[in-house]
Amino acid sequence: MQTDIVRQVKSNPKYHELVSKRSAFGWTLAVVMLAIYYGFILVIAFKKELLSIKISETAVMTIGMPIGVAVIVSAFVLTGIYVARANSEFDRLTHEIVESIK
Amino acid sequence: MRMRHSLITLAALLGSTSAFADAVKGPIEKQATNVTAIVMFLIFVGMTMGITYWAAARTKTAKDFYTGGGGITGFQNGLAIAGDYMSAASFLGISGLVFSSGFDGLIYSIGFLVGWPIIMFLVAEQLRNLGKFTFADVASYRFGQTEIRTMAAVSSLVVVAFYLIAQMVGAGKLIQLLFGIDYWIAVVGVGILMMIYVVFGGMTATTWVQIIKAVLLLSGATFMAFSALATFGFSPEEMFKQAVAAHPKGQAIMGPGGLVKDPVNAISLGLALMFGTAGLPHILMRFFTVPNAKEARKSVFFATGFIGYFYILTFIIGFSAIVMLGKHPEFFKPDAFVNGVIDKAKLITGLSGGTNMVAIRLAEAVGGNLFLGFISAVAFATILAVVAGLTLAGASAISHDLYASVIARGRSSEVMEMKVSRYSTIALGILAMILGIAFESQNVAFMVGLAFAIAASANFPVLLMSVFWGRMTTRGAQVGGYLGLATAVVLTVMSKAVWVDVIGNKEALIGLDNPAIISIPVAFVAIWLFSLMDRSKRAEEEALAYEAQHVRCETGIGAEGASGH
């Protein structure tokens, strides 16, 4: 890529806005996913009887079941949250940056 | 005629976090020829051959071969990724694990899913904006092409080789079991079909094989799960209640059991699964098939949804099988009966064909012989889609990275590169068949775990640091990548899965089943240390080139576009 395009993009404040917003958002969501997953694994490793607690006295269903399914759903929801913001806000900023160098 | 077959169960998995449900283990005997399954499978082959013929006409350039022209939509790519990732052995293995130990199966499948959000947040768009055909394009973007591409190609080929051997051995055994044909014929058949798809149809054919397989597998599993749930009045509580009553372990199946034995092994396996997914060459390659970063992120969103949904289905299949298979005495071995009824204690061990057959048996229970044939054919199709993707990724590492960039130093013609990629596909296919047959009676359970560990310890650190750390240098990436690879391999050899189960020693040298918790930090620290110590002129230039890379990575300015058709 030509150096003048790089310089032009880098001097655009929107570029810095995009970079800082997106990286903060991406890393935050990554940390949330790590926390959910390793939280789940650590409970199993250290205090697994917590997940075997029944949801009511008469039920066989344990709280581990909905929690496990919730971890799966959370992975999908987190990617959805990222896509929703990236497709609107980040793509708009990217579009404006690309337009500005034409 | 009833044949006894003893596909070894995944019981070993309960005691070890290193064993992978993604590999089929142990000796099996072949089953009576299943005509319905073979007819259904031939229909699938006919359909995919038609697609390959159509794709071959569209595969003219290197871009067509590696990326299917780059015009695949995010939704299609999401399905193809799911088709690439959901292996037959994980469908059969995880539903079998749920059947034999309940909740532990859920823990296991969650590990395979959580890598996807990480791919979304940290690598998908970056790959699309910086890369062209292989993930080495991204890893080597501003670095010494020879050094980084060689390193990336070596670790990619090692990952592909282990993954492919495990799949081929699993394929041979499953097909033997499902279709009643000889092991070697099954392996050669899989090898030849995958070579035809990749050699003639390249990425376009591979993508469509994966999409069709994903649709068939998801709809088949959906039908099974819903039919099974219907018998419980769509009440999970009712299903769990009857399963607890029928299962020899009783209420214990409703919570974590022996899968996670200690925190260190649990975290190490989790790291390998989570970051390994983000370093698998055949998965990363799929991000070059879409036209832009927006479609790349849509791909991950759909893929995560499909894969997560699939794991929930396998969970329902495994649990309902606990109740439903017990109503079919014909599924059990003669020694499972006491006074003519199935002994509750033998529900798991007495299932004929072992627990890998749980999903197949449930298919027969809910949909009769026709649906059994369908699910068997889908399992075969699933194997084909996975091995085709792996072979394409391996061939690309040879032709695009090793041949075009390292050996020919960028002076090769596109025609020549295409030729090399096709010959590489054939060579890899033949090698896969030979190794598949050679490893028939070997214990290959460690191979998928090792493939994930290497992907997490060599490919992923170099890829991530090349994108996010401007100070990385060629030397740092090279040392870090090779060290990660070597550490993962050496530690795996010293672990129980190889040192005891394969080599036959009495005790493992280390208690760690999966090397990721050591090998991933080794790679990152080495990259960091050797980059900072690198005071060469080239290191300075590489740091300056980061600016331009960063701009392209963030905005997509200068990124590869889709081709005209």
Rounded distance between C-alpha atoms, residue B276 and residue B114, angstroms: 11
- How many alpha carbons fall within 13 Å on the CB side of residue B309? 18
B341-342/B337-338 β-pairing: antiparallel
Q: What is the pLDDT of residues B528-541, one digit of tens each?
A: 999 999 888 888 88
ipTM of the shown complex? 0.94
pLDDT at residue B21, rounded to an integer: 46
Average pLDDT of span A33-44: 93
Name the strand (E) or helix (H) holding B209. Answer: helix B183-230
> Is the confidence at residue B71, as pLDDT, over 50?
yes
- What domain range is B157 assigned to? 11-57+74-445
Rounded distance between C-alpha atoms, residue B492 and residue B513, angstroms: 7
Rounded distance between C-alpha atoms, residue B233 and residue B226, angstroms: 10
pLDDT at residue B547, rounded to an integer: 85
> Is the confidence at residue B31, as pLDDT, over 70?
no
Q: What is the pLDDT of residues B218-259, one digit of tens each?
A: 999 999 999 999 999 999 999 999 999 999 999 999 999 877
Q: Which of B106, B241, B555 is the closest to A94 by Cβ?
A: B555
Rounded distance between C-alpha atoms, residue A59 and residue B85, angstroms: 36
Q: Chain A residues with CB inside 8 Å of B270's CB?
A: 37-38, 41
Task: Kindly state whether residue B346 falls inside one of the protein's structural domains.
Answer: yes
Q: Chain A residues with CB inside 8 Å of B251's CB?
A: 52, 60
pLDDT at residue A35, rounded to an integer: 95
Tokens of B565: 């058709």
Binary contact (B103, A51; C-beta < 8 A): yes
Q: Which of B107, B122, B550 is the closest to A30 by Cβ?
A: B122
- Distance from the Cα of A69 to chain B's closest Cα (Å) equals 7
Residue ranges per domain, chain A?
A: 20-100
Binary contact (B117, A22; C-beta < 8 A): no
pLDDT at residue B98, rounded to an integer: 93
Rounded distance between C-alpha atoms, residue B175 and residue B173, angstroms: 6
> Is the confidence at residue A1, as pLDDT, over 70?
no
Task: Kindly state whether residue B410 falls inside one of the protein's structural domains.
Answer: yes
> Is the confidence at residue B30, as pLDDT, over 80?
no
Task: Name the phi and psi angles at B342, rounded to 5.
Answer: -70, 125
* Residue of A57, A65, A73 best to disrupt the B interface, most CBs of B under 10 A: A65
> Is the confidence at residue B323, as pLDDT, over 60?
yes
Task: Name the nearest CA neighbour of B411 among B145, B151, B65, B133.
Answer: B145
Under a CB-based contact definition with an 8 Å cutoff, are residues B162 and B450 in contact? yes
Rounded to the nearest integer, the mean pLDDT of chain B is 86
Tokens of B57: 């006409």
Rounded distance between C-alpha atoms, residue B101 and residue B433, angstroms: 34
Q: What is the pLDDT of residues B101-115, one digit of tens each?
A: 899 989 888 989 999
Using a CB–CB cutoff of 8 Å, tell me whether B116 touches chain A. yes
Task: Kindly state whether residue B216 falls inside one of the protein's structural domains.
Answer: yes
* Residue of B101, B118, B267, B302 best to disrupt the A interface, most CBs of A under 10 A: B118
Rounded to the nearest integer, the mean pLDDT of chain A is 90
Task: Kindly state whether residue B450 falls inside one of the protein's structural domains.
Answer: no
Binary contact (A72, B311; C-beta < 8 A): yes
Task: Kindly state whether residue B508 falls inside one of the protein's structural domains.
Answer: no
Binary contact (B312, A5; C-beta < 8 A): no
Q: Which residue has the higher pLDDT, B191 or B404?
A: B191
pLDDT at residue B20, rounded to an integer: 47
Under a CB-based contact definition with an 8 Å cutoff, are residues B526 and B476 in contact? yes
Binary contact (A79, B117; C-beta < 8 A): yes
Neighbours of B448 (CB within 10 A): 25
> Is the confidence at residue B10, as pLDDT, over 60?
no
Name residue A66's amino acid.
P
Q: What is the pLDDT of residues B331-344, one digit of tens each?
A: 888 888 888 788 88
Task: Kindly state whether residue B505 falls inside one of the protein's structural domains.
Answer: no
- Three-state SS sequence of A8-53: HHHCCHHHHHHHHHHHHHHHHHHHHHHHHHHHHHHHHHHHHHHHHC
pLDDT at residue B565, rounded to an integer: 45
Task: Please report which confidence band the pLDDT of residue B24 belongs to, taking 50, 70 and 90 as the band edges.
Answer: low
**Gap between the terminal Cα atoms of chain A:** 14
| B337: helix, strand or coil | strand
pLDDT at residue B537, rounded to an integer: 85
pLDDT at residue B16, rounded to an integer: 35
Using a CB–CB cutoff of 8 Å, tell me whether B354 touches chain A. no
Task: Please report which confidence band the pLDDT of residue B8 belongs to, taking 50, 70 and 90 as the band edges.
Answer: very low
Q: Which of B236, B254, B263 is the closest to A46 by Cβ?
A: B263
Binary contact (B305, A76; C-beta < 8 A): yes
Task: Kindly state whether residue B362 falls inside one of the protein's structural domains.
Answer: yes
- Distance from the Cα of B240 to chain A's closest Cα (Å) equals 7
Q: What is the pLDDT of residues B275-305, one digit of tens each?
A: 999 999 999 999 999 998 889 999 999 999 9
pLDDT at residue B395, rounded to an integer: 93
Q: How many distinct helices (H) and strands (E) make up chain A?
A: 4, 0
Q: What is the pLDDT of residues B423-452, one digit of tens each?
A: 999 999 999 999 999 988 877 778 888 899
Binary contact (B551, A5; C-beta < 8 A): yes
How many domains is chain B built from?
Answer: 1
Angle at B164 between CA B93 and CA B380, to 5 degrees: 55
Task: Please report which confidence band the pLDDT of residue B554 belongs to, taking 50, 70 and 90 as the band edges.
Answer: confident
Average pLDDT of span B37-46: 87
Task: Please report which confidence band the pLDDT of residue B32 belongs to, taking 50, 70 and 90 as the band edges.
Answer: low
Binary contact (A33, B244; C-beta < 8 A): no
CATH number at residue B403: 1.20.1730.10
Rounded distance between C-alpha atoms, residue A67 and residue A54, angstroms: 12
pLDDT at residue B77, rounded to an integer: 95
pLDDT at residue B15, rounded to an integer: 32
Q: Which of the listed ranges A57-61, A81-85, B20-24, B367-371 does the model predict with the highest average pLDDT?
A: A81-85
Task: Name the nearest CA neighbour of B319 among B433, B381, B236.
Answer: B236
Average pLDDT of span B492-498: 87
Would residue B472 be called left, alpha or beta, if left means φ above 0 and alpha means ψ between -120 and 50 degrees?
Answer: beta
**Gap between the terminal Cα atoms of chain B:** 54
Under a CB-based contact definition with an 8 Å cutoff, are residues B436 and B163 in contact? no
Residues belonging to chain B: 565
Binary contact (A6, B240; C-beta < 8 A): no
Average pLDDT of span B38-59: 89
pLDDT at residue B339, rounded to an integer: 80
> Is the confidence at residue B2, as pLDDT, over 70?
no
Q: Chain B residues with CB inside 8 Å of A62's CB?
A: 103, 254-255
pLDDT at residue B11, rounded to an integer: 31
Using a CB–CB cutoff of 8 Å, tell me whether B266 touches chain A. yes
